[in-house]
Amino acid sequence: MTMKNLLAAAAAAIITVAAPSALAHARLEASTPAANSVVSPAPAQVRLQFNEPLELPFSKVKLVDEKGGVVDASRVAADPADPRALVATTPGLHAGVWRVQWTTVARDGHKVKGEFSFRVQ
Ligand SMILES: [Cu+2]
């Protein structure tokens, strides 16, 4: 085997090992309200749909308005029909742009977080 072939074989082996865990990370696939959408009336719940089952005790959802005001969305529940979804109860959202900041842990133990916005008209 030449040196070049040896390096190619080593690179291929690394890619084979690394790829499955990278693909296993949970990611947000959709939400209700959807990212960048405009809704009316204000939603009583925000639903986050992920690609794999989540650990509910490590899941948090926070809503922040344009002035930095935070709405308590501490009541985060799993969707009984779908362990890949989180449902946050969001009472009394006023009109304006809301940033949804979420954190969760997938069954593989990896913490993932992200945020998106929607507007209440
Ligand atoms: Cu992962």
The first and second tokens of residue 4, run together, are 């070049």
The first and second tokens of residue 91, run together, are 């009472």
* Residue-range domains of the chain with CATH: 3-120 (2.60.40.1220)
Centre of ligand 1 from the C-alpha of residue 112, in Å: 8
Of the candidates 44, 28, 41, 56, the residue with the CA atom closest to the CA atom of residue 116: 28
Q: How confident is the model at residue 12 (pLDDT cuts 50, 70, 90)?
A: low
Of the candidates 21, 88, 86, 32, the residue with the CA atom closest to the CA atom of residue 55: 86
pLDDT tens sequence across 27-69: 999 999 999 999 999 999 999 999 999 988 889 999 999 998 8
CA-to-CA distance for 40 and 21, rounded, in angstroms? 40
pLDDT tens sequence across 73-108: 657 888 889 999 999 999 889 999 999 999 999 888
Centre of ligand 1 from the C-alpha of residue 10, in Å: 24
Residue-level pLDDT at 19: 47
pTM of the model: 0.77
